[in-house]
Amino acid sequence: PLVLRDYNLIKWIGANSYRTSHYPYADEIMDLADRLGIVVIDECPAVAIDHFEDPLLKNHLQAMTELISRDKNRPSVIMWSVGNEPRSYRNQSGEYFKNVYDHTRLLDKTRPITLVINADYKTDHASQHFDVIAINRYFGWYSDTGHLELIQNQTLSDLRHWRAARGKPVMITEYGADTLAGLHMLPSMVFTEEYQAELMSQNFKAFDIAKSEGWFVGEMIWNFADFMTKQEPRRVAGNKKGIFTRDRQPKLSAHILASRYWYLADQTPKERYTERNQCSQQPNRLWFP
């Protein structure tokens, strides 16, 4: 039931894709993506890797072999991700990830391959080997916290630098802000629902300009729903960047994102209203005809 709820919510907000961050998902979850027409960036379990030595490379290549062997015939899988936020500023990462890319390309000659990067374009040594540049950026949250007025220019400038440096399609795979459901302040402050919504809106402005230039190919928010993490000062009982709570209830940000995605899908307001009401009344009938 929880997985069905998740897919219903994905449809409700008008999304058409997700990334299996940061590990392969169960067969049953992937089966539903195939069935419902949700496209997937399929990611192997390689998070924040460092010390790019032969034993790690051997395990990494094996992980990609197993992932592609399992999911290569799935229509939902449109791209492989070989990892998330490696220490790609290290010189050794360049040769390491060239080996990972070449191995993955031998296993699948058709799908694009990416590596999700959080390094700066000037110091990254790995992304040039991949087909799509996928970056994680948290302007207004982890940097320049509280300064919503800087986000549009910072995001657009960063995206353009990646495009100029690599000459490849660019997408953003993470952006967002932690938000406590029910916390409201005006003017907005960090951790409020208003701040999350305003941060998203500033990112949208940058995305729209980049998209109009013809090389920006996708946007993915971090993240779908709140989840538990270890205890640390920057977390309030877990990671609260979800647009839905842990029990899958919408925050203000979910409504903001739904309005954007349905607009991007070229839906009229009447069609949005009709589909949302059908979803809330007969979710199984709508999504499983």
Q: How far apart are CA 254 and CA 245, in angstroms?
A: 10
* Residues 221 and 176: beta-carbon distance below 8 Å: yes
Asked if the peptide bond before residue 161 counts as cis, ω within 30 degrees of 0, the response is no
Q: Considering 28, 43, 85, 275, which one is annotated as catalytic?
A: 85
For CA atoms 98, 100, 105, 106, give the dihedral sign: positive
Q: DSSP secondary-structure letter at 20?
A: -
- Residue 228: partners with Cβ closer than 8 Å, 6 or more residues away: 237, 238, 239, 246
- Interior angle at CA 134, CA 132 and CA 136, nearest 5: 175
* Residues 104 and 82: beta-carbon distance below 8 Å: yes
- Structure tokens belonging to residue 200: 């998203």
CA atoms within 13 A on the CB side of 74: 28
3-state helix, strand, coil in the chain (%, to 5): 45, 15, 40
Question: Does residue 85 carry a catalytic annotation?
Answer: yes
User: What are phi and psi for residue 43, nearest 5 degrees?
Assistant: -110, 135
Give the residue numbers marked as catalytic: 85
